[in-house]
Amino acid sequence: MEINIVSDEELKKKPDFTNLKFGSIFTDYMFSVRWDAENGWGIPKIDPVSSFQIHPAAKCLHYGLQVMESLKAYKGIDKNIRLFRPELNMERLLQGAKRLVLPAFDSKELIECIKRLVKLEQEWVPDLKHAALLIRPVYVGTDPTLGVAVANSALLYVLLSPVGSFHPPGFKSASVYADPKYSRSWPGGSGDLKLGGNYGHTIYIQRAAEKRGHHQVLWLHGKKNEITGVDCNNIFFVVRNESGGIELITPPLNGITFPGVTRQSIVELCQNWKDVQIVEKTITIDDVKKLLDEKKLREMFGTSSACITCPISSIFFDGSKYDVSTVKQDKPIYDRITNALCDIYYGRADNPWGVKID
Amino acid sequence: MEINIVSDEELKKKPDFTNLKFGSIFTDYMFSVRWDAENGWGIPKIDPVSSFQIHPAAKCLHYGLQVMESLKAYKGIDKNIRLFRPELNMERLLQGAKRLVLPAFDSKELIECIKRLVKLEQEWVPDLKHAALLIRPVYVGTDPTLGVAVANSALLYVLLSPVGSFHPPGFKSASVYADPKYSRSWPGGSGDLKLGGNYGHTIYIQRAAEKRGHHQVLWLHGKKNEITGVDCNNIFFVVRNESGGIELITPPLNGITFPGVTRQSIVELCQNWKDVQIVEKTITIDDVKKLLDEKKLREMFGTSSACITCPISSIFFDGSKYDVSTVKQDKPIYDRITNALCDIYYGRADNPWGVKID
């Protein structure tokens, strides 16, 4: 690896970590490595973050040849810095690259490169509750040729950005807006991958929801209005079942659900919880209405590595508002999940999911 | 408009226009204009084609904030250079920008800018049958912030690339490969727009088709295997109907069909043809099988501005091969359509669809 260090005077001043705007500040250094069909992978590099040259015909600007990841580095109470299950992000990045026919990379090696970068930038990892250093790998096809075809050159890079809590100050719970005219994912599509093309087309309805005073979009699919997720990726429902037990329901990984690392970790965590039964099954808007009518729906929340959990207190659908008592529960499940995950993120619990950077 | 002309010595040598590889050669100049939320649109510029600086966090590289167009400039038999219905491409580009919440632009003004660029590059317009100068507008969100959100800055640019026939030398007809596991578009998605994100995820199955010896992918949708298009965008079927007449069938614009300019022009052209009835309706794989069994399917062809028409002679689906007699017809409709459109492209027919650049 080639590491190009600049003098201390050229380094940025660290921002106020208690007041960070999501994704707007980057650390001093980034990782990058180029590939081309003739020479294979080039030398991996750590350089100061800077703009780079791109040809206006680069395939990643025309044909969505781009896939990315989001994970975080956390400063633990023991002052160790940990990643959370980075191998899952690398596996998903590889799946996305495969779909775009970008070459595979050695994911263990990429994790080592990321650890090296985070170690260099360790002062940028906020030592604060709910704050972290966002790690953003991006992998794009770069060759300057028109035509939807396999890329002959590519660029893989990693940016770091210190982030605070995903939720704005004073945020208590989300109002979500569902419009069956817009759909995030579809069978045979790429909704189970983190391709750039899954996001751009969602901004229109996201903004429409915001204009109507809602926080996020609740994604529906098909004529039955199957719920596939929410802005912040995955969705969970806490339901009291027929026999009085508690079920935690989330849509199954059927190709249209995003395979979130947080989702997977919650599913696995809850398998060890005796008082909660995790159920992966399809749930429609009508199912939710019925559960509300029967007073069985206790909580509804989104999950992602950005927000961990995001409690939802109302759904707008087809001109009606449906209230969910998520934040009115005495000991809500979403809170218990957030705490269990944060215990691992911040080293309060000893768990192999938390991977120290050295 | 700011035009930065370089000296004649700095201009590229023109390639052999009889032997062009699609989309790999660009002319000397490109058009560009930047926008940002604070200052609005900047000064439109014509500059030499060159790589530009992009921030690694630019939204167009992470979230598919990109939309493009494809149209062509043709050198007519009267030596005039014509565009073909450029207002339709501009309208579609505006629709895509709207979906990405990129700001609207004045489409008439953009057409004037494109005409100005093409006029400057008129020596790059091949004076050859089936060759043309491809015009590629690209519109991307550029601000360097993480988070799926409205872009605060954007770049709109136009590249030109001389292209020969879309089909490789010796090409007679296409074999198409249909796999219901992969779908190009979906209700509530963006398959009716020319967003970059519609293309990247298709490369995997496109390559799988090529590896199996087929030329293109026949796109299916849903459990009924509705045919939505083919690699080269739209699809048409020539069918002998019950009363012995000829129907030209193409899928309707229902949100999952790409609204091709060539498609629209064929539909409009055929409305004036007395011996062919144009029918916009859904057609499934089973419908095609039935038409073949009943010996009613005469032709099947793809259409796009890149290929004009692309005759299809076989379909591979679910382990079986189905032959279509497209290229065995005496006076095939696809040929008649190609000629009718080329008459307009190359100025052999006087038609307002052909728009002279001056």
pLDDT tens-digit readout, A181-220: 999 999 999 999 999 999 999 999 999 999 999 999 999 9
CB nearest A186 (choices: B183, B199, B207): B183
Within 10 angstroms of residue B339's Cβ, the number of other Cβ atoms is 13
pLDDT computed for residue B167 by the predictor = 85
* Interface mutation vs chain B, best among A203, A211, A233, most B CBs within 10 Å: A203
Residues B117-144 as b/e (b if ≥16 CB within 10 A, e otherwise) read bbebbeebbbeeebbbbbbbbbbbbbbb
Across the interface, do A54 and B56 touch by the CB < 8 Å criterion? no
Chains A & B: contacts with CB separation below 8 Å: 218
Amino acid of residue B237: F
Max Cα distance, chain A (Å)? 66
Give residue-wise pLDDT tens across range B66-117. 999 999 999 999 999 999 999 999 999 999 999 999 999 999 999 999 999 9
Inter-chain residue contact A203 with B65, CB threshold 8 Å: yes
Q: Which residues contact A96 (CB under 8 A, 6 or more apart)?
A: A67, A139, A190, A193, A194, A195
Each residue's pLDDT tens digit, B231-260: 979 999 999 998 889 999 999 999 999 999
- Chain A contact for B52 (CB, 8 A cutoff): yes
- One-letter amino acid of A120: L
What 8-state DSSP symbol labels residue A166? S
Nearest in space to A56 (alpha carbons), one of B281, B156, B308: B156
pLDDT at B283 over 80: yes
Q: Is B134 helix (H, G, I), strand (E, B) or coil?
A: strand
Residue A7 reports pLDDT greater than 90 = yes
Q: How confident is the model at residue B165 (pLDDT cuts 50, 70, 90)?
A: confident
**Lookup: tokens for A298:** 């206790």
Distance from CA of A28 to the nearest CA of B (A): 13
pLDDT of B129 reads: 87
Q: Which two tokens stand for residue B71?
A: 């149209």
The amino acid that residue B181 corresponds to is K
Any idea what the Cα angle at residue B167 is, between residues B164 and B171, rounded to 5°?
A: 135
Question: Which residue in the set A60, A159, A187 is minimally distant from B57, CB to CB?
Answer: A159
How big is chain B, counted in residues?
A: 358
Residue from B131, B136, B144 nearest B53 by CA: B144
H or E element in which residue A267 lies: helix A261-270
Q: Which CATH superfamily is domain B174-345 in?
A: D-amino Acid Aminotransferase, subunit A, domain 2 (3.20.10.10)
Residue of B nearest to A50 (CA): B55
Q: How far is A205 from chain B (nearest CA, A)?
A: 8
Reduce the DSSP state of residue B307 to 3 states and report it: coil
pLDDT at A169: 83
Classify the phi-psi angles of A83: left when phi > 0, otherwise alpha if psi is within -120 to 50, otherwise beta. beta
What pLDDT sits at residue B168? 81
Chain A residues in contact with B188 by the CB 8 A cut-off are: 180-183, 186, 220-221
Contact A53 B57 (CB under 8 A): no
Candidate from B64, B134, B138 with C-beta closest to A196: B64
Contact call for residues A248 and A276 (beta carbons, < 8 A): yes
| Chain A touched by B224 (CB under 8 Å) | no
Pairing of strands A246-250, A226-230: unpaired
- Under 8 Å between Cβ of A303 and A341: no
Find, among B321, B310, B346, the residue nearest to B167 by Cα. B310
- Return the domain boundaries, chain B: 2-165, 174-345
Query: Would you state the pLDDT for residue B296?
Result: 97
Neighbouring CB atoms inside 10 A of A189's CB total 24
Arithmetic mean of pLDDT, B266-278: 96
| Interface contact A62, partner B, CB < 8 A | yes
Q: What is the DSSP string of A90-136?
A: HHHHHHHHHHTTPPP--HHHHHHHHHHHHHHTGGGS--STT-EEEEE
Which among B56, B157, B190 is the nearest to A201, CB-wise? B190
**Set of chain A residues whose Cβ sits within 8 Å of the Cβ of B145:** 23-24
Cβ neighbour number for residue A53 with a 10 Å cutoff: 10
Give A170 to chain B, closest Cα distance, Å.
20
Give pLDDT tens digits for A153-163: 999 999 999 99
Give the 3-state secondary structure of residue B244: coil
Q: Name the minimum distance, in Å, from the CA of B277 to any CA of chain A.
A: 32
| Contact with chain B for residue A77, Cβ under 8 A | no
- Could you please state the CATH topology (level 3) that the domain comprising A2-165 is classified under: D-amino Acid Aminotransferase; Chain A, domain 1 (3.30.470)
The pLDDT tens digits for A301-335 are 999 999 999 999 999 999 999 999 999 999 999 99
Q: Which of residues 27-46 of A touch B (CB under 8 A)?
A: 30, 32
- Give residue A357's identity as a one-letter amino acid code: I
Kindly state whether A166 is in contact with chain B, defined as any CB-CB distance less than 8 angstroms.
no
Residue A167, sorted as left (phi over 0), alpha (psi -120 to 50) or beta, turns out to be beta
Distance, in Å, from the CA atom of A200 to the CA atom of A218, rounded to the nearest integer, reads 16
Please give the mean pLDDT across all residues of chain A.
96
Q: Does the distance separating the beta carbons of A64 and B61 come in below 8 Å? A: no
B242: CB partners within 8 A, 6+ apart: none
Q: Using CB atoms, pick whichever of B150, B186, B231 lies closest to residue A183.
A: B186
pLDDT of amino acid B232: 75
Q: What is the pLDDT of residue B130?
A: 87
pLDDT (0 to 100) of residue A176: 98
* Predicted ipTM of the assembly: 0.97
Q: How far apart are CA B312 and CA B298, in angstroms?
A: 11
Beta-ladder partners of A140? A66, A155
Strand locations in chain B, DSSP E? 2-3, 29-36, 40-41, 45-48, 52-54, 66-68, 71-75, 81-84, 132-141, 153-163, 174-178, 216-221, 226-230, 234-240, 246-250, 276-280, 297-304, 308-317, 320-323, 354-356
A166 confidence band (pLDDT: 50, 70, 90):
confident
Q: Report the chain A residue with the minimal C-alpha distance to residue B233.
A: A148
Q: Which of A57, A138, A207 sits opposite B150 (nearest CB)?
A: A207
Spatial neighbors of A314 by CB under 8 A, at least 6 apart, are A175, A176, A321, A322, A323, A324
Q: How far apart are the first and last CA of chain B?
A: 17
Q: CB neighbours (10 Å) of residue B78?
A: 11
Give the number of other Cβ atoms within 10 Å of residue A251's Cβ: 23
Measured in angstroms, the CA of A101 and the nearest CA of chain B are apart by 6
Query: For the purposes of burial, counting CB atoms within 10 Å of the CB of A87, is it exposed (0-12), middle (13-18) or buried (19 or more)?
Result: middle
Q: Do B189 and A201 count as a contact with CB atoms less than 8 A apart?
A: yes
Residues of A in contact with B104 (CB under 8 A): none
Shortest distance, CA B350 to any CA of chain A (angstroms): 31
Tell me what pLDDT residue A163 has.
96
3-state secondary structure B163-226: ECCCCCCCCCCEEEEECCCCCCCCCCCCCCCCECHHHHCCHHHHHHHHHCCCCEEEEEECCCCE
**pTM (2 decimals)?**
0.97
From the list B23, B153, B236, the residue with the least C-alpha distance to A144 is B23
Q: How distant is the Cα of B30 from the closest Cα of chain A, in angstroms? A: 9
From A176, A194, A177, select the one nearest A185 (Cα to Cα). A194
Q: Does A26 touch chain B (CB under 8 A)?
A: yes
Q: Say if CB B118 and CB B135 are below 8 A apart.
A: yes
For testing the chain A interface, which of B185, B199, B226 should be mutated: the one with the most A CBs within 10 Å? B199
